[in-house]
Structures are given as C-alpha cells and as structure tokens.
Structure 1
C-alpha cells in the first residue's frame, strides 16, 4: 500500500512537471508569436512611412522636372528667336569664309553697274555662293537675306535700297572647306563673266570674317508659319 502511494505521488509529480513544462512552452510560443506580430506591425509602419516619403520625393522631383521642362522650352524658344534674327540679318555674324572682289579690268572701262545689273551678275554670284557653302553674305557692307533687293537705280546698283559702287566686295561666312574648294577648283560662272565682260574677279580665303547686321530697317513685320 505504501509503495502504491509512493508511485501515485511520483506519478503526480512527474505529471505536474510535464504539465508545467507544457504551460511554459505554450507561454514561450505565445510570447514569440506576440513578438513576431509586433515586429511585423513595426515593419509595416516603417514601410508605410518610407512609401509616404518616396511619394513626397517623387512629387518634388516631378515639380522640379516640370520647372526644368519649362526652362528648357524657354531656352529653345530663345534659340529659335535668335536663329531667326540671325537669318533675317538682325545680328552680326563672325566666322571663316571667302571674299570676292568684282571690278572693272581698268579705269578706261568706266562704270560697270549697267551690265553687272543687266546680266544679274551679283545675284548669280550670291546664289552660287549659297550653293557652295555660304550661309551669310554681304555686298559692300550690305547684309543679304532672302528679302534683299539687288537692283539698278540710275547709274548705280542698290542693295537693300542703299546705293553701292564698284569695286563690289562680296563677303561670305559659312563652310570654309566647301568655299575653299569653290575658289581653288575655279568657278565656271566666274570664269565666264571674266571672259565675256571687261571685269576682273579677285578672291581670298579668310579665317575670320565679320559681317555686320542689316543697317537699314527691314520692312518685314510678320512671318507666317505654314
């Protein structure tokens, strides 16, 4: 009987120990799950905060990008206006190019304006220079653009309504290589006018040429785009 009682006490003790261990394990696991849940909540909060910060940064960057685009568009518009002003001869230009001189062969020939104008010699030379790399051209200091008249007025030629007299000095700025080839290989047209008329043509290749802006008011007020 005594042994049976001892066994019951021993079994109860062991069972108590086992139950205690189970309870501790359960509490530990519950604590682990609770810790993991809290950690997950913290991570969610941190991620949410980071997302909000990233959104704010994106909004700031988008605003900066919009400002930069506006500035870029303004710069492009300014470039377009400056290019237009340059092409219409409202600004001075400088660069490499060539200079041509058209004059009478000698003083006995006298005024060459009549046959120069009648045969459109200056107009033809200007057109030929454009085909051979000239971008900006002047005749006796008068800047040439697409609206420049070159016409005879009495005994002299007018360029941009301004009278000019021989020798006719034509300066052009543009593609130096093409213009140099034009001079070196020899222009058929320049040769022909020297063969057929009492005029001489001189030429020089220059590293620096300054062509001043048009010095008379341009009557063009509006430019209509297509």
Structure 2
C-alpha cells in the first residue's frame, strides 16, 4: 500500500484518478453490453416470429405482443404506412431515431481511451520534473535518478493499460450496435415484403393461373 501511495505521489496525484477512470470504463461497458444483449435478443425473437406472418392483420397481431425495443419501433413504423414508398420512408426515419439511442454512453468509453494515456503521460512528466531536481543536489549520485524515472513511467504504463482495455470494450460494443442495426434493416425488409411485395412462389402461381385462363398451357 505504501508503494502505491508513493507512486501516486511521484505522479503528482495523477495515479489517484486512474482507478476512477477504470471503474467508469467498466461500468459503462457492462451497462451497455447488457442493454445491447437484451435488445438483440428481442430482435432475434421478432425476426423468428415474422417468418410465419403474412398479411397486415397477422403482422399487427405480432406487433401487439412484441416488447418495446428499437426493432419494434421500426416494425411499427412500417405497419403505419399505406404503401411501399411510405413504408420505406417511415422505417428509415425510425431507424435514424433509434440509432442515436443504441450508442448512448459509448462516447464515455471513447473519451476514456483517449484521456487515459494523456493523463498517464502528464503524471510521468510531473515525475520526471521531480526526478531531475535530484541532480541539483551535489550530494546525490547521478545514478539515483534512474529509480525516480522508472517510478515516473508507471503513470504512463497505467494509462496505456486502461486505454487498451477501454479500446477492446469499445470496439466490442460498436460491433453489437452494428448487429442491432442490421437486425432493424432485416425487420424493415421482411415487413415490407409481407405487406407490399408478393413472394416469388405467389407470383409464380399467379402467372400459371393467368396463362391457364389464356389457354396457353
């Protein structure tokens, strides 16, 4: 404990901030990771249920039982439309609105990844100032400065370690956001297909019936 307090004092107190910064990084990552995992699970359930739905009435029944989530907002926006063009426009608007909610709080991780090494570097610079002051004392051997320089570098190493952890967590959360956005796009397309576009099998049956009426088959 005394060693940690000594190292924190050498860095000008910067090392006292590092544990707080690490706690903020871990808290934001855990909260956002849990929230995005739950959102993605709801999206998976909705996509699975959509496979068996056809027609507006069936889709509206599905909407009534779907829990609130960004994917549900896109689903509801498409169902509120009256044709293909308006369905695409409503869905795009809903997706843009929900996208800002998905990456909420990620700016904190982004800031921590940039801030941690800079704070560590500042602590090292402060420690280096203190170390070079030793040279002004004629009774101090020049080799004594090496130990103080090593202690000063601890702040930089700590800042880099926090930045590495934060960067890994940030990229992982960004990937989860991209997966949810992909789910929203799939839900938009699936709902539009079931509302306004006939499946290929239906179009094929319709063509056969038309040819039969014309006496061509």
The TM-score normalised by the length of structure 2 is 0.27
Structure with the largest fraction of strand:
1
Structure with the largest fraction of helix:
2
The TM-score normalised by the length of structure 1 is 0.26
The higher-RCO structure (CA 8 Å, 6+ apart) is 2
Task: Specify the structure having the higher radius of gyration (Cα).
Answer: 1
